[in-house]
Amino acid sequence: MYHIVMQHIHGRARWAFFLAPLIMLGEVFCDLQQPTLMSEIIDQGLSKGDLNFVISHAGLMLLFAVLGLIFGGACGALGSYASLKMGEALRSHLLTVALNDRQAGSLPPATLITRITNDVTQMQNLVMMVTRGLVRSPMLLIGGVVMSIIVCPDLAPILFVVMPILVVFLLVIVRLSVPKYTAMQQSVDHINQIMRENLQGAKTIKSYVLEDHQHADFTTSNQHLQQTSQTAAMATVLLSPVIQLMLNLGVVVALGYGGQLAISNTISNGQIIAFVNYMIQITSAMIQTVNIITAFSRAITSATRVQAVLDMAAFQVAPAQVAAVADVKPHGSQIEFDQVSFGYQQSRPILDHVSFTVPDGQWLGVIGATGAGKSTLINLLTRRFDDYHGTIKIGGVDIQQMALSTVHAAVAVALQDSLLFSGTVRSNLTYGRPDATDAELTNATAIADAQPFIAQLPAKYDAPVEQAGKNFSGGQRQRLNLARAIVPTTDILVLDDATSAVDQTTNAAIKSRLREQRADKTTLIISQRVTNVIDCDQILVLNNGRLEAIGTHAELMQQSPFYRQLVTTQLGGAPDANA
């Protein structure tokens, strides 16, 4: 945990983090002066009627009070600063890691959200607490004990009875409550997850009439949270009254026994008062210590959960590292895969020694069943993953020699399921090219068959798009998504199942318009449907991560039984390439 905190406190925040506890020493010192000063006022001022002494010492008390306030305020300000800066740095680090996640889904979004918000807040609280309390409580405790022994050695035995009882009691409380706080955190996480699933899946839940089931699940989790919170709270609630009781008993004994001693003139009234005040300081320091320990335990749970997110970075290539390689520009748009093998997990290879070449300007169709590795091929081409074996070249240049921005300037991809973001139609269409003109947008949307419905929107390109494109139908979203990939007119265009939600006739129209537009530009059409790839210059047949065959439709019909089988199942015969 210390490691996470230190990693995210830099520069001035780090100074503040270490300076704050030092300043706190000042406040503790001032606080410890008060009871002694008061006893002196009583013993040497009031009882002897020395008004000057009373006034000068009262002034001194005021001075220490003001100084204490200043020290306390400064410590608080520095502590908040350090804690806010730490939270800011940690959150942005977590967000970067989460966005770069390659294992997509290794931590569900619900957990990520609680970790980035709630858990970071816990850690922020801890930094705050630590800068203030870590020095204050023990110092006040030790200082209080030492001072009371110095000021009033005769009453010290009372402390030696009261303190051990309190310490044992506090340890019991800590033991009881700490595991409950851990359990609480887990419950909160689970509830968040259920909430999220319910809200996102509201339609599915309704259509399968799962409301009762989901509700029962939710209720169970809530009850669990309630029980753990109750036990944790019980322990904490006991804390204050028990300590007060012990304190008051101690005060009664101090007054009674001290009174006896005072009558026999062994100690003075002022000493008794000072002793009582030190006892109050000591017990309040103890309560603070318990609070810090619980905050610590909560923060440790949070830190472990935050660390798990940070650990995901081990599988990621830092963007800085990617940018650091020399940036070579491709010469043309030929694509070469040479003996490329890859697996998302070491244990499970997805692509197995795949080699092929798409000459400049050719159209390549990629066909294969779901899970064959088609999209994985594109993930590698766009450098979403770098830990593959073999070589991938664009325009004769190894893509590892190119900056990510160069790769993305060369290749545009329309995915089956890519998201629209909240904004406008225009803002969604111009991700790949912020300066695209309306004419270019119209050209792209016409190809993608998005014109008909955009034309009906009152605000046209400035029509609003809601979160995740909710205000458009699935087919409309896919058309916008396709247009978005066409707008930048890159040398290479990849359509990865990008027309699956579009009907056959429209699909054919889109393809023929695209053909006109990109007659001499390298284009990859990825699909499960033979009709989508049948007229490509080459068709690559992918079967379970292996390259089954590559060639024109006619060649494959002759040479590949696997392809022939595919065609027969889908088309029921052997159509010619113009079908």
21 binds, among ligand ADP, Mg ion, none (CB under 5 to 8 A by kind): none
Closest CB to ligand ADP among 383 and 433? 383
Told to check if 365 binds ligand ADP by CB under 6 A, we report no
Tell me which residues in 86-115 interact with ligand ADP (CB under 6 A).
103-104
Binder to ligand ADP among 53, 169, 257, 344 (CB under 6 A)?
344
| Rounded Cα distance, 73 and 47, in Å | 36
190 binds, among ligand ADP, Mg ion, none (CB under 5 to 8 A by kind): none
Each residue of 279-288: b (16+ CB within 10 Å) or e? bebbbbbbbb
Binder to ligand ADP among 373, 395, 469, 488 (CB under 6 A)?
373
Gyration radius (Cα) of the chain, Å: 36
376 binds, among Mg ion, ligand ADP, none (CB under 5 to 8 A by kind): ligand ADP
294-333 footprint of ligand ADP as x/- string (CB under 6 A): ----------------------------------------
Binder to ligand ADP among 8, 115, 132, 374 (CB under 6 A)?
374
Tell me which residues in 524-563 interact with Mg ion (CB under 5 A).
none
Report the nearest approach of Mg ion to the CB of residue 374 (Å): 5
Closest CB to ligand ADP among 93 and 374? 374
Report the nearest approach of ligand ADP to the CB of residue 569 (Å): 17
Q: Which stretch binds ligand ADP (CB under 6 A): 65-73, 228-236, 312-320, 370-378?
A: 370-378
Return the structure tokens found at 244: 């007060």
Taking CA atoms, 104 is separated from 75, 90, 99, 112, 422, in Å, by 43, 21, 9, 12, 22
Residue nearest to Mg ion (CB): 375
Told to check if 372 binds ligand ADP by CB under 6 A, we report yes
Q: Which residues contact 292 (CB under 8 A, 6 or more apart)?
A: 129, 130, 133, 134, 137
92 binds, among ligand ADP, Mg ion, none (CB under 5 to 8 A by kind): none
Closest CB to ligand ADP among 370 and 578? 370
DSSP state of 527: E
Report the nearest approach of ligand ADP to the CB of residue 127 (Å): 35
Q: Which residues contact 456 (CB under 8 A, 6 or more apart)?
A: none
Report the nearest approach of Mg ion to the CB of residue 204 (Å): 22
Identify the H or E element spanning 112: helix 109-114
| Rounded Cα distance, 563 and 367, in Å | 9
| Rounded Cα distance, 235 and 231, in Å | 6
Closest CB to ligand ADP among 344 and 461? 344
Report the nearest approach of ligand ADP to the CB of residue 499 (Å): 15
Report the nearest approach of ligand ADP to the CB of residue 350 (Å): 4
Closest CB to ligand ADP among 350 and 429? 350
Residue with tokens 């890691």: 97
372 binds, among ligand ADP, Mg ion, none (CB under 5 to 8 A by kind): ligand ADP
Report the nearest approach of Mg ion to the CB of residue 372 (Å): 8
Report the nearest approach of ligand ADP to the CB of residue 478 (Å): 16
Residue with tokens 């062994």: 266
DSSP state of 495: E
Return the structure tokens found at 236: 């904490």
Report the nearest approach of ligand ADP to the CB of residue 497 (Å): 7
Angle, helix 211-263 to helix 156-200, in steps of 10 degrees: 170
Return the structure tokens found at 206: 């309704």
15 binds, among Mg ion, ligand ADP, none (CB under 5 to 8 A by kind): none
Closest CB to ligand ADP among 374 and 433? 374
Told to check if 350 binds ligand ADP by CB under 6 A, we report yes
Tell me which residues in 347-376 interact with Mg ion (CB under 5 A).
374-375
126 binds, among Mg ion, ligand ADP, none (CB under 5 to 8 A by kind): none
Helix/strand/coil for 303: helix
Binder to ligand ADP among 265, 346, 347, 370 (CB under 6 A)?
370
Q: Which residues contact 455 (CB under 8 A, 6 or more apart)?
A: none
Told to check if 383 binds ligand ADP by CB under 6 A, we report no
Q: Which residues contact 88 (CB under 8 A, 6 or more apart)?
A: none
Q: Which stretch binds ligand ADP (CB under 6 A): 8-16, 176-184, 364-372, 398-406?
A: 364-372
| Rounded Cα distance, 111 and 119, in Å | 10
Helix/strand/coil for 210: coil
Return the structure tokens found at 343: 């697996």
Q: Which stretch binds ligand ADP (CB under 6 A): 316-324, 365-373, 469-477, 565-573?
A: 365-373
CA torsion angle 96 100 104 107 (round to 10): -30
| Rounded Cα distance, 335 and 490, in Å | 14
Binder to ligand ADP among 83, 185, 277, 376 (CB under 6 A)?
376
- How many residues interact with Mg ion (rule CB under 5 A)? 2
Report the nearest approach of Mg ion to the CB of residue 514 (Å): 19
| Rounded Cα distance, 287 and 289, in Å | 5
| Rounded Cα distance, 136 and 282, in Å | 11
| Rounded Cα distance, 516 and 510, in Å | 10
**One-letter amino acid of 271:** Q
| Rounded Cα distance, 531 and 567, in Å | 9
**Per-position DSSP letters for 407-424, written without gaps between them:** HHHHEEEEETTPPP-SEE
Report the nearest approach of Mg ion to the CB of residue 547 (Å): 16
Report residue 281: phi and psi, to 5°. -60, -40
Closest CB to ligand ADP among 177 and 376? 376
Q: Which stretch binds ligand ADP (CB under 6 A): 8-16, 137-145, 369-377, 560-568?
A: 369-377
Told to check if 499 binds ligand ADP by CB under 6 A, we report no
Helix/strand/coil for 390: strand
Applying CB under 6 A, which residues contact ligand ADP?
A: 103-104, 344, 350, 368, 370-376
Applying CB under 5 A, which residues contact Mg ion?
A: 374-375
